[in-house]
Chain A
Amino acid sequence: MSATIVRQKPLMTMRQVLLMNLGFFGIQYSFGMQQTAVNPIYTMLGANPDEMPLLNLAGPITGLLVQPMIGAISDKTWVPKWGRRRPFLLVGAIGCSIGLFLFPFAAAVWMAVLLLWLLDVSNNTAMEPYRAFISDKLPPSQLAKGFLAQSFFTGLGITLANVSLYLFKSLLGEQALGSGIPYWVMSAFMLGTVASLVTVLVSVISTKEIEPSAEELAEMKKEKLSLGGMLKDIGSAIVDMPVQLRKLALVYLFQWYAMNCYWQYVSLSVAKSAFGTKDIHSAAYGDAVAWTGLVNGGYNVVTFCVAFALVAMAKRYGAKYVHTSCLLIAAIGLAVFPHITNKYLLFVPIIGLGIAWASIMGVPYIMAVRMIPSTRYGVYMGIINMMIVIPMLIQTLTFGTVYKWIGNDPGNAITFAAIFLAIAAVAMLWIKEPPIVKDVDDLSEQPGN
């Protein structure tokens, strides 16, 4: 007869959950700097706008390869005193800190590209084990709280990264390093250097991992990590993938292609429309970059404010219609955005993107988890991650050419993003949403009663 194994997992308090996730703030600050400051630095170092997609190749490639690989390696790791996931969080945070520290000193485009690869590899090294850290520590009933805390710190980290660019510019003025990169950009990177390391350290020190039993350790040593096994798992999950999840992949194709276009061309678009310059070496372009940071911070603030309301609306009206509406609002906002010449008015259409970003980060997942068994969350989360990075990779490889077709105009790139978001919204309507789950308190009509 097989033995029964019994374990107990204590529930965590909100304070413990927040401390455990604090490190996500630092990692997301680093990601926020990548979103807003890296492309302007490329242009300051002399890169052409149509080269932007290729210069950003690191993001999708590392997302596609590094995240699942590190996730699988950390599953088979146990370092006494350090644990299973924490070594990866620390290594990732140290890499982010080094990358952020060195970035403002890049004197040529190739140096900035190498540093972006370091940043992306480090971000991804920390990101996947961080998600698994939550799954390891929290019982299934608290997982939603854990992931919600991660979303909270995602918003906070990216917002602060964007706002810090504007604040440092106001404080430090126009003085620049020899390479032409201003001190205010450097200061925002230095803040990121400290934030990513310190916040991860706080999480690592304050949260102990659950030690595996002797049997589990023996099992871990016995099971060798194999690339073949990993690929087989992914392959069988793709074969078994529910039809509705395949339709979500189509939505993601347009949605993430559009988001990448926005991030890559928003600074140039704001410079052209609201600051009246195409000269990347002008003071006005520096002002536009800082203002874009504020605009991006603005949409992340909207994201904060509406995230919880959207979750409640998705439960009431269905995730499908909520996400469709959010994408359409963003499409309208982005269609208007490049035509606005008053920099203050830019905050109005960007509200739409903030609402859509809140939806993108949460609402499709509410639907996806009802389509897939939670015993296979790990592999399907990896596949959903691929559904994000593959469109980004396609955008990276194709948009340089598209950009030429649309007249080398950054405003047109934003309009293109708006059209793709609208297509994603229409594709969303094709999905047949699984039923919405009732709550246990609504049990008045028991079949047995």
Chain B
Amino acid sequence: MVANVMLIVEREFAYPQQRLFRAWTEPEEMMHWRGSPGWHVEQESVTSESKLGGKHHHVKVRDNDPSVRVTTDAVFTEFFDPDVFVAKQKITGDPGIDPSIPMELRVEFIKNGREGKSCLVRIVQGPYDPSRAEFHAKGWELELNRLQQFLDSGPEGVTR
């Protein structure tokens, strides 16, 4: 199968645009919620240069089998705080993703409502093999649930 499907995942959060952008781009925030249930992000692995052309690196580890590791290396091809970032990614260790084909992750933060108290997050990622696209869509859905929980918990020292 040829990887030729782009996933588009959207969800509205009752938090301002700037808050969402921070949760997605600052390493000390990302490490708390990135990864689907059953996985976690290895905290010391997260590094990110928040700028155009900046590099990003993180490793996701399976909770019940730490030998299963998925590494993401990326470079920001677009970085506009707090509107959007785009990263070209090289993902290794996921059996459903060919590491030789660069992936693109694009996350848009669209202000909602007159006072901008809520924000629509739109994730565009791919290309995925059509048979794996559904699986990864589910993964994003669960990961966004985690983001919601993280934001709701209002962690001290992280939320500013």
Instruction: Determine the distance from Cα of A440 to Cα of B87 in the docked complex, in whole angstroms.
Output: 9
Question: Contact check: which of B46, B52, B74 meets A370 at CB < 8 Å?
Answer: B52
Q: Is A439's beta carbon under 8 Å from chain B?
A: yes
In the bound assembly, the distance between CA atoms of A1 and B76 in angstroms comes to 30
B5 proximity list for chain A (CB < 8 A)? 8-11
Q: In angstroms, how far is the closest chain B Cβ from the Cβ of A140?
A: 5
User: In the complex the two chains form, is B133's CB within 8 Å of A8's CB?
Assistant: yes
Query: Could you tell me if A376 and B83 are in contact, using CB atoms closer than 8 angstroms?
Result: yes
In the complex, A171 has a CB within 8 A of chain B: no
Q: Which residue of B lies closest to A449 (CB)?
A: B57
Selecting from A96-104, A391-399, A429-437, the interface stretch reads A429-437
Q: Is the CB of B55 within 8 A of A443?
A: yes
* A140 lies within 8 A of B47 (CB): no
CB contact under 8 A between A139 and B124, given known A2-B13, A7-B8: yes
Is the Cβ of B75 less than 8 Å from the Cβ of A1? no
- Looking across the interface, which residue of chain B has its beta carbon closest to that of A142? B6
Q: Which residue of B lies closest to A7 (CB)?
A: B8
B12 at the A interface (CB under 8 A): yes
**Does residue A442 face the partner (Cβ distance < 8 Å to B)?**
yes
**Which residue from chain B places its CB closest to the CB of A443 in the assembled complex?**
B73
Q: Which residues of chain B (104-144) have a CB below 8 Å from chain A?
A: 104, 106, 108-110, 124, 126-127, 130, 133, 137, 140-141, 144
- 1/0 contact trace for A231-242 toward B, CB 8 Å? 000000000000
A226 partner residues in chain B, CB cutoff 8 A: none
Docked CA distance A9–B7 (Å):
7
CB neighbours (8 Å) of A373 from chain B are: 78, 80, 83-84
Contact B90 A11 (CB under 8 A): no
Report the nearest A residue to B44, measured CB to CB: A448
Question: In the complex, are the beta carbons of A446 and B4 less than 8 A apart?
Answer: no
Q: Does A81 contact B (CB under 8 A)?
A: no
Cβ–Cβ contact B104 & A447, under 8 A: no
> Is B89 part of the contact surface with A, judged by Cβ < 8 Å?
yes
Asked if B9 and A447 make an inter-chain contact with CB atoms under 8 angstroms apart, the answer reads no
Q: Kindly provide the distance from the CB of B23 to the nearest chain A CB, expressed in whole angstroms.
A: 15
Q: Are B84 and A141 in contact (CB under 8 A)?
A: no
List chain A residues, Cβ under 8 A from B58: 448
Which of B10, B12, B52 is in CB contact (< 8 Å) with A435? B52
Is the Cβ of A375 less than 8 Å from the Cβ of B84?
yes
The interface residues of chain B, by DSSP majority, are classed as strand
- Interfacial chain A residues near B25, Cβ < 8 Å: none
Give the residues in chain B near A370, CB-CB below 8 Å: 52, 78
> Chain A interface residue count: which class?
35 or more
Chain A residues whose CB sits within 8 angstroms of the CB of B89 once the complex forms: 440
* Minimum C-beta distance from A128 to chain B (A): 22
Residue contact A3 to B11, C-beta cutoff 8 Å: yes
Is residue B86 contacting chain A, with contact meaning CB distance below 8 A? yes
Q: Do residues A6 and B4 form an inter-chain contact, with CB atoms below 8 A?
A: no
Does B63 sit at the interface, judged by CB under 8 A? no
Q: Are B55 and A446 in contact (CB under 8 A)?
A: yes
A11 to B74, CA, bound (A): 21
Cα(A171)–Cα(B25), bound, Å: 65
A438 at the interface (CB under 8 A from B): yes
Q: Let me know if B8 and A448 touch, CB within 8 A.
A: no
Query: What is the CA–CA distance of A434 and B78 in the complex, to the nearest angstrom?
Result: 11
Complex Cα distance, B126 from A367, in Å, reads 25
A5 at the interface (CB under 8 A from B): yes
Contact A447 B55 (CB under 8 A): yes
Question: How far is B63's CA from A76's CA once the two chains are assembled, in angstroms?
Answer: 47
Task: Note all chain A residues with C-beta closer than 8 A to B90.
Answer: 440-441, 443
Interface readout for B50-85 with A: 1 if CB under 8 Å, 0 if not?
A: 001101011000000000000001111110100110
Q: Which residue, of B75, B90, B106, has the highest number of chain A Cβ atoms within 10 A?
A: B75
Give chain A residues whose Cβ lies under 8 Å from the Cβ of B75: 437-440, 442-443
Residue among B12, B80, B124 making CB contact with A140, cutoff 8 Å: B124
Give A372 to B52 CA distance when docked, in angstroms. Answer: 12
A437 to B58, CA, bound (A): 20
A179 near B: Cβ within 8 Å? no
Residues of A within 8 A of B49 (CB): 447
Q: Is the CB of A439 within 8 A of B45?
A: no
Q: How far is the CA of A442 from the CA of B83 in the complex (A)?
A: 26
Q: Is the beta-carbon distance between B6 and A139 smaller than 8 angstroms?
A: yes
- Which of A11, A439, A443 is within 8 Å of B6, CB to CB? A11
Are A448 and B47 in touch, CB under 8 angstroms? Answer: yes
Known A6-B137, A9-B6, A440-B74; contact A140-B106, beta-carbon cutoff 8 A:
yes
Given contacts A6-B8, A7-B8, A375-B84, contact A447 B52 (CB under 8 A): no
Separation of A140 and B87 alpha carbons in the complex (Å)? 12
**A375→B11 contact, CB < 8 A:** no
Given contacts A8-B5, A376-B83, A447-B57, 8 further A-B contacts (CB under 8 A): A2-B11, A4-B141, A6-B140, A11-B4, A140-B86, A441-B102, A447-B47, A448-B46
Mark B residues whose CB is within 8 Å of A.
4-14, 45-49, 52-53, 55, 57-58, 73-78, 80, 83-84, 86, 88-90, 102, 104, 106, 108-110, 124, 126-127, 130, 133, 137, 140-141, 144-145, 148
The 6 closest A-B pairs by CB, nearest first: A448-B57, A373-B83, A440-B88, A139-B6, A373-B80, A448-B47
| 17 A–B pairs (Cβ distance < 8 Å), ordered by A | A1-B148, A2-B12, A5-B10, A6-B7, A6-B141, A8-B6, A10-B4, A10-B6, A373-B78, A374-B106, A375-B84, A375-B109, A437-B52, A437-B75, A439-B75, A443-B90, A447-B49
